[in-house]
Amino acid sequence: MVGLVSHVPAAAASPSKEFDDARAVFRTGRYKDAIPKLTGLLYPQSRLSESTELAEAHLLLGVAYYETGDRGAADRELEAALALDPTLEISTATFSRGAVAFFEEKRGELDRKGREEEARLERARRQQLKKRITESAFVLEKRNYLINFVPFGAGQFQNGERGKAIFFAVTEGSLGTVSLGLFAYQLLRYSNGRVPVEEVEATRNLQIAQITSGALFFGFMAWGIIDSLAHYEHTVRRELDPATLHIIDEYLDETLPGARGTRRPPPPPRPAPRPPKSSLRLAPTLAPDSAGVSVTWEF
C-alpha cells in the first residue's frame, strides 16, 4: 500500500497582523527588535493600506529610532507620520518623557515651517496679483480745452509735444520781449511826446521793429493755438509713471487679503465745498479671471 502525504505551506501573515506583532514588540520596550519589523512594513514600499496604520507605523519607528539614539532617522520618521496625520498625539502613558518632548518639538518645528510656507505662498500670490493689476492699469488724463488758447506753447506742453512747446515758448517770448522793450524805450525816451528832428528816422525804424516784432508775436501765438487745437485730445490713455505705480502699490498693500496694516478699504473722502483742480483716482476692477486698476487723473 502506498501512502500519499501532501504538504500545505502555512499561510503568510497579513501586513496588519505583522504590524500588530511589531506594535507588541515595541510596547515591551524592545526597540531594536521593533525597528526591522516596522522597517519591513514601510520600506522599500509600504505594505500597509490603512492610512491610520501607516501613520502609526512611522510614529512607532521614529520613537524606536529615538530610543536607540538615532535622532536623524527618528526626525525623518516622525515628520512622515505627522505629514500623514497632523492630529497625531502621544503621551507619557505609553511613551517616555524624552520621546514625547522630542515628538512635540518636531510638531512645533513642522507647524512653524508650515506657517512660514503658507506666508511665503501668500506673499507670492499677492505679488503676482499686484503685478497683474499694475500691468493692466493705466492713466486716463483729462485735458483742459482752454489751455489751447494760452500762448508760449502751453497747449503743446499739455499735448505732450515738448519740442514744439519749447519752440513756441522761446519764439513768442523773444518777440514779445523785443516789442515791449522797444515800446518801453520810446515811451521813456520821449515821455513828452516830442521827437527831435535828428532822431525821427531812427525812431521810425524803432517803431517799425516794434510793430513787426509785435505782429510776429501774435502770428506765432495764433499758429501755436491752431496747432494745439489740431492735436488736442480731451482724454488720453497713457502708461503709469513710477510715482503712480508707488501709489498703487501702497493702495494694494492696504486692500489685498493678507496685506500688512489695515485690511479694510480706506473710507471715502469727505465732500469738499469745491472740487479740487487736480485729483488722482484709483478704482479696482475685478473679473472672474482677471483683475485691474483704473487710474483717472483730472486737472
Q: What is the pLDDT of residues 208-252, one digit of tens each?
A: 998 999 999 999 999 999 999 988 888 887 777 776 677 777 776
Quick one: what percent of the chain has pLDDT higher than 90? 46
pLDDT tens per residue across span 17-27? 999 999 999 99
Domain boundaries, the chain: 15-115, 137-143+235-264+275-299, 145-232
pLDDT tens per residue across span 58-79? 999 999 999 999 999 999 999 9
> What's the Rg (C-alpha) of the chain?
44
CATH architecture of 15-115: Alpha Horseshoe (1.25)
Q: Give the pLDDT band of residue 262 (cuts 50, 70, 90).
A: very low
Alpha helices, DSSP H only, in the chain?
15-27, 31-42, 51-67, 71-84, 97-136, 154-159, 162-189, 200-230, 242-255
Sheet holding 290-298, edge to edge: 235-238, 138-142, 290-298, 279-287
Q: Is the pLDDT of residue 267 over 80?
A: no
pTM (2 d.p.): 0.48
Q: Is the pLDDT of residue 123 over 50?
A: yes
